[in-house]
Structure 1
Amino acid sequence: MHVDLGNVLDTTPGLTEETLDRLDSRVADAHDRIATGMADDEFGYAALNLPETADPDAIRAATDQFDRLEAVLTVGIGGSALGAATLANALESDVDAYFLDNVDPDAVASLLDRLPLDETVVNVVSKSGTTAETLANFLVVREAMAEAGVDWTDRTLVTTGEEGNLRALADAHDLPVLDVPDGVPGRFSALSTVGLAVPALQGHDIEAILAGGRDGMESLSGSLFETPAYAYGTATYALAERGALTNAVMPYAESLETFAEWFAQLWAESLGKDGLGQTPARALGATDQHSQLQLYRAGPPDKLVSLIRPTERAETEIPETDLDGLAYLGGSSLGDLLDAEFEATEASLAAADVPNLRVEIDRVDERGLGELLYAMEAACVLYGELASVSTFTQPAVEWGKKAARGLLGGGDFPEADAVADKRELRIDGS
């Protein structure tokens, strides 16, 4: 993986090479803290050990138990789904992957109506085994399978913690079970059982995904100038400190569109603490050059644009044409056009004095994805160290969970009482 910081130098806001040199000593200190946390397998830092501690054999043993496999349906939310979705949506397979990560009743019903439930593996994921949205959706899925004459116990894989409702259910019905690793927050779990079960069911090389993670792990050093992940984490932190409070992540590969969703959770939930953080925005190149780029180039000077692309991809040739004004396209490829769009966007932002940086992987395959996911997790941890935030907690999210649970009668939570205090200024239509 490569990170190019050239277009964050001397922009508005921006950095200088001298600034990066000064920050490098802080990066060294932060790396020492990260290395210690990894060595001691501390909460959160343990996620950065996953390329070595994840057990692909255990994942294969659990997933190889299923036959007649046309689709896999993951029932989870947030970090329990987004890592798997990133991998599944980036890699082609004959086994379709679907994700129930919301409780919209219309969307749930529509998906279940069109799934071949007798040839679908249900992958239900919750570390606590008590996540309301996940368990509610799983109950709905289980009933739909029963109504379709499918024995749900033959088609269900559970990924959960050592205790909780899901663990008890798995034990009671002798379901195949994968353990969620200790000390790993959900948003950092893509390279664990949580993220790798789906690609395993789809027939992908999960060992190669972990090998890509090890590539990222082995690149960690005490200098941002030697570590692409730390270069990204340092630059984003320093730019946020100087006013770039929005980070627009713009992959130039449709296969990486879900990666931008995964990144948004990682960045927002990890770094949005104590009035600090950087708001992730999701874009897709070249599509959003025709929409969001207008804002990024000509709007308030409070943005960083992260441009991401593979350097190798399959090619589709553009046919020759004699149409006026289009002859220049003939003989090139769609990949050539996409690369030209990427570099034009990069130059356009630089010309408008907007900081942007380039992240490149060799290709969108198992190894490249493993390295990209690991690098962004390491970048996020480094950013958190530099900003002195509690990277691995999510108290604001927990507040909302308690309020929702209280409203549904799941316990006595004072957070639920706040709902009754909502102010109204209501304007009704005719």
Structure 2
Amino acid sequence: MSSDKVVKLKKHEDSMAYEQNIDNCFEDKIGNNGLSRDEFEKNLVKASDILDKLRREKDEGNSPIFNHIEQADDIENIIRIGSQIRDSFDELVVLGTGGSTLNPQSMVCLAQPHDGIDKRVYFIDSVDPYTIESFIAQLDLEGTAFLVTSKSGSTVETLAQFMCFLDALEKEHLDIGKHIYIISDPVDNPLRDIGKQIGATVIDHEKNIGGRFSTFTNVGLIPAVVAGVDIRKIRKFAKAAVEAFFKSNSIPVQGAALQYSFMQKGTAATVIMPYVDRLSAVATWYRQIWAESLGKQGKGNTPIKAIGALDQHSQLQLYLDGPKDKLFNLITCDTEKKGLKISGNYLNNDTRYLKGKNIGDVNAALQKATAETLARNNCPLRHIKFGNMNEETLSTIMVHFMLETIITAHLLELNPFDQPAVEEGKVFARQILNDSRA
């Protein structure tokens, strides 16, 4: 076993390079804030043994998440449903919370990276009364479809959202059933019951895949089709990533060993900081799978989302000069010579360094400066780099973090697929609402 400082993933001629550099995580580079290479090596062996077990489960057909990625039987039906929505309606609103909205948000980022720019898919993931009411007021309900997702079919927030939008559709005297699509477990539950009553299109949630890991199922992919993402490529590259990552000493194996080693050292937080706006939703999704999969029995650490270059101006001061209790996961894309060119017509001598540069050159300089500054200040830094933001990159990153999270959970001797503490809050919320019935 070898803890190579840089691990690269290259698959075929037209493939992007996907690279992970963990060199600035060791004490011989950053002093006492870093890891002992010997301790990391021991944990790398443990992580590889866990991967061997997970590989056997996958090969035997007992790994629902990764077995699903490897099959393609559902793709044409997902495309059919997504295309039907796209052809029949101007907009799609996804109702839900947690993985039901974070997974599709991560997928549609390839087609609609910015709010308000050529947007076809919207997400309602809260029950803030102002958000719901103001959103309904601006909708063209006749031209809008709704995808309501809840694995259990009994999520309080989702049912409450759904009732508000159903009332709005009824007031417009629209054929409600034609506007509603539902994804839920194929068992009797409140959401499916409502769907049957109104004649909605009801779609089965993958039974053995939890909501936060439903990225490559119909939960993530139907909205992606509506947004215009090529989901055949998404699934193709996800399958390729599974094949590449289920090998000894792969990028997720090293990542899990790294994260676990820092937890043993007492590191309180892991910061994910992409310098790619289109990965903002992925960072939010990562925060969920890391927190819900590992935050149990007094174990785990806190995932923090930061976005470059924005959070250089809000969080970096703390990271550089505050407590040294964090692992930094910087994610960068090659943006040099990309984007609009800066004319420099109104720049003075002090700012002429911008003249003739592309906006991507500025982004590249900032992400490089942040990496170097973190390293110089002896902050543990994992740097993930890739060439282009596309279906391959997105699929690779999400498979990477899924597998890394699952391996880390096993290193901590935890079940990565449950969230027992969250259930208590759900029970209390229902009890409060029930006790306050008129």
The question of a shared fold, defined as TM-score above 0.5 by the shorter chain, is answered with yes
* Distance of 2:70 and 2:246 partners within structure 1: 17
Q: Which residue of 1 aligns with 2:33?
A: 13
1:366-385 pair list within 5 angstroms:
366-385=391-410
Q: Which residue of 1 aligns with 2:13?
A: none
Aligned-pair distance for 1:379? Answer: 0.7
| One-letter amino acid of the structure 2 residue matched with residue 20 of structure 1 | F
Choose the corresponding residue for 1:154, options 178, 188, 205.
178
* Distance of 1:115 and 1:232 partners within structure 2: 43
Instruction: Tell whether 2:68 aligns with 1:50.
Output: yes
Tell me the secondary structure at the aligned position of residue 6 of structure 1: strand
Tell me the secondary structure at the aligned position of residue 173 of structure 2: coil
What do residues 247-302 of structure 1 show as CA deviations (whole Å, max 9, x unaligned)? 11111011111111111001000000111101011111011111200111111110
Instruction: Tell whether 2:131 aligns with 1:111.
Output: no
Aligned-pair distance for 1:337? Answer: 1.1
Q: Which residue of 1 aligns with 2:126?
A: 102
Q: Which residue of 2 aligns with 1:189?
A: 214
Q: Could you tell me whether the CA contact under 8 Å between 1:270 and 1:393 is conserved in 2? A: yes
Q: Which residue of 2 aligns with 1:427?
A: none
Instruction: Tell whether 2:227 aligns with 1:208.
Output: no
Q: Which residue of 2 aligns with 1:236?
A: 259
Distance 1:298 1:320, change over 3 A: same
* Distance of 1:83 and 1:312 partners within structure 2: 25
* Distance of 1:70 and 1:309 partners within structure 2: 34
Structure 1 regions of 5+ residues with no counterpart? 412-430
* Distance of 2:61 and 2:168 partners within structure 1: 41
Aligned-pair distance for 1:217? Answer: 0.1
Instruction: Tell whether 2:310 aligns with 1:310.
Output: no
Aligned-pair distance for 1:410? Answer: 8.2
Tell me the secondary structure at the aligned position of residue 65 of structure 1: helix
| One-letter amino acid of the structure 1 residue matched with residue 127 of structure 2 | V
Aligned-pair distance for 1:367? Answer: 2.3
| One-letter amino acid of the structure 1 residue matched with residue 343 of structure 2 | P
Q: Which residue of 2 aligns with 1:277?
A: 300
* Distance of 1:95 and 1:320 partners within structure 2: 32
Q: Which residue of 1 aligns with 2:353?
A: 328
Distance 1:410 1:238, change over 3 A: farther
1:79-94 pair list within 5 angstroms:
79-92=99-112, 94=118
Distance 1:178 1:39, change over 3 A: farther
| One-letter amino acid of the structure 2 residue matched with residue 187 of structure 1 | R
Identity, % of aligned pairs?
A: 30
Distance 1:178 1:410, change over 3 A: farther
| One-letter amino acid of the structure 2 residue matched with residue 343 of structure 1 | K
Q: Could you tell me whether the CA contact under 8 Å between 1:59 and 1:178 is conserved in 2? A: no
| One-letter amino acid of the structure 1 residue matched with residue 26 of structure 2 | L
Q: Could you tell me whether the CA contact under 8 Å between 1:188 and 1:266 is conserved in 2? A: yes
- Is 123-132 or 207-216 further displaced after alignment? 207-216
Q: Could you tell me whether the CA contact under 8 Å between 1:94 and 1:202 is conserved in 2? A: no
Q: Could you tell me whether the CA contact under 8 Å between 1:62 and 1:177 is conserved in 2? A: no
| One-letter amino acid of the structure 2 residue matched with residue 200 of structure 1 | V
Instruction: Tell whether 2:76 aligns with 1:63.
Output: no
Tell me the secondary structure at the aligned position of residue 146 of structure 1: helix
Aligned-pair distance for 1:172? Answer: 4.1
Choose the corresponding residue for 2:422, options 397, 418, 421.
397
Q: Could you tell me whether the CA contact under 8 Å between 2:70 and 2:239 is conserved in 1? A: yes
Q: Which residue of 1 aligns with 2:276?
A: 253
- Is 212-221 or 76-85 further displaced after alignment? 212-221
* Distance of 1:335 and 1:366 partners within structure 2: 20
Q: Could you tell me whether the CA contact under 8 Å between 1:251 and 1:283 is conserved in 2? A: yes
* Distance of 1:69 and 1:364 partners within structure 2: 28
* Distance of 2:61 and 2:167 partners within structure 1: 40
Q: Which residue of 2 aligns with 1:415?
A: none
* Distance of 1:405 and 1:40 partners within structure 2: 40
Choose the corresponding residue for 1:178, options 203, 210, 220.
203
Q: Which residue of 1 aligns with 2:9?
A: none
Distance 1:62 1:176, change over 3 A: farther
Aligned-pair distance for 1:40? Answer: 4.5
Q: Could you tell me whether the CA contact under 8 Å between 2:335 and 2:364 is conserved in 1? A: no
* Distance of 1:108 and 1:365 partners within structure 2: 32
* Distance of 1:84 and 1:410 partners within structure 2: 35
Choose the corresponding residue for 2:42, options 12, 16, 22.
22
* Distance of 2:45 and 2:257 partners within structure 1: 11
Aligned-pair distance for 1:106? Answer: 0.6
Q: Could you tell me whether the CA contact under 8 Å between 1:308 and 1:358 is conserved in 2? A: yes
Choose the corresponding residue for 1:76, options 84, 89, 96.
96
What do residues 70-100 of structure 1 show as CA deviations (whole Å, max 9, x unaligned)? 2110011101110101122342384522111
Q: TM-score, normalised by structure 2?
A: 0.88
Aligned-pair distance for 1:238? Answer: 1.2
Q: Which residue of 2 aligns with 1:295?
A: 318
Q: Which runs of 4+ in 1 moved over 6 A?
A: none
* Distance of 2:33 and 2:71 partners within structure 1: 40
What do residues 296-339 of structure 1 show as CA deviations (whole Å, max 9, x unaligned)? 11111101111112235842212134512111111211111111
* Distance of 2:242 and 2:99 partners within structure 1: 21
* Distance of 2:247 and 2:47 partners within structure 1: 6
Tell me the secondary structure at the aligned position of residue 327 of structure 2: strand
* Distance of 2:83 and 2:196 partners within structure 1: 19
Q: Cα RMSD between the aligned structures? A: 2.0
- How many residue pairs get aligned? The number is 407
Q: Which residue of 2 aligns with 1:419?
A: none
